[in-house]
Amino acid sequence: MNLWTTVWTITANVLGVLIIHLGIAYACYRMPDYWFVKRHPSSYQQLTAKDSLREERFYDRVLKIRKWKDRLPEGSKLFRQAFDKSKLQHKTAVHYRQFILETRRAEWTHSLSILPAPLFLIWNNAIGSGLMIAYSLIANIPFILIQRYNRFRLNRILSHLEGKERA
């Protein structure tokens, strides 16, 4: 592989990642909130409290998310007026519901960002393709896990808050 081919490939990879990831992030940011609101029960949302707690413990004890989740960048800094998920702004049921909605949006954003990874097979050799696919997974899976972990915690807190409001 000559130098020009290497430079072109690296440039195409960097630009491809930027365009794909930022494009998907912007598209998800612009999607209406109602796309991410829980409208009907699914198998994921019908988890019992025990199952939910078990999955949350897996994230906490096995993956140790609590130790590293705050070290990763918060994507809301990319777009003005995006919902900041780095900390709770208000401790109201309305704010928790919005926060939960935004964890769904972020999970979709990162999941969709993985899907175009095979496009890099077009112009990369086997090693380059493997590196680009690995990058796509490494750059997105931790964020997906964090969103799921946070959503379990936020749903538990929201249930507690709504129980207080009903009482």
Spell out the domain ranges in the chain.
Answer: 3-166
pTM: 0.83
Query: What is the band of 1 on the pLDDT scale with cuts at 50, 70, 90?
Result: low
pLDDT over 50 at 26, yes or no: yes
Q: What integer pLDDT is reported at residue 43 of this predicted model?
A: 45
pLDDT digits (tens, 9 = 90+) for 64-102: 999 999 888 887 766 666 676 666 777 888 888 999 999
With pLDDT > 90 as the criterion, what percentage of the chain qualifies? 54
Give dist(CA 147, CA 139) in Å, integer: 14
Query: What DSSP state is assigned to residue 117?
Result: G
Q: Which residue has the tokens 């769904």?
A: 104
The neighbour count for residue 126, using CB atoms within 10 Å, is 8
Helix H or strand E encompassing 57: helix 49-57
pLDDT digits (tens, 9 = 90+) for 97-134: 999 999 999 999 999 999 999 999 999 999 999 999 99
With pLDDT > 70 as the criterion, what percentage of the chain qualifies? 82
Q: Are 110 and 143 in contact (CB under 8 A)?
A: yes
